[in-house]
Amino acid sequence: MAEYWRGEITLRKLRVLVEGLPPTGAVARAAAGHALGYGDFRMADMVDLMGQLVTDFRNANRAEKSPPQQYPEPVWRPEPKSAQKKRKNKARKEATEARSGYLRIVAQVTPQYAEKG
């Protein structure tokens, strides 16, 4: 990048160099936020499916009086930052709604403890 700003290489040469970076390199990891590739995600999907198939098989062949097994937890996968933000915003909104509901109940049941505001 410094060579481009010093005028030692052209923009076309810089583009060729950037396009030639490996898909598992440091730049790709920084852009994606994780080091997992397509094959890693496929492997995680296969592990999840195998766990579900084994659970289905065990439930189909269990004793009638025994309780069914629960599906296993899915394998961890990184989530995009936008999904993390949405999850945090949703949790914050639910906490705010729960708090306002609690305060409403407190105000109805015990008016002396209701927040003045």
CB atoms within 10 A of CB 58: 12
Which stretch of 55-64, 79-88, 102-111 has the lowest confidence by average pLDDT? 79-88
Distance separating alpha carbons of residues 99 and 8, to the nearest angstrom: 61
What distance lies between CA 94 and its chain's CA centroid?
Answer: 19
Average pLDDT, the chain: 87
Q: Residues with Cβ < 8 Å from 35, sequence gap 6 or more?
A: 24, 29
Q: Identify the band that residue 117 occupies on the pLDDT scale cut at 50, 70 and 90.
A: very low
* Cα dist from 50 to 40, 56, 76, whole Å: 15, 10, 15
- pTM (2 decimals)? 0.51
Each residue's pLDDT tens digit, 18-35 = 888 887 788 777 777 777
**In the chain, what are the domain boundaries?**
1-34, 36-78, 79-117
Burial class, 70, CB count within 10 angstroms (exposed 0-12 / middle 13-18 / buried 19+): exposed
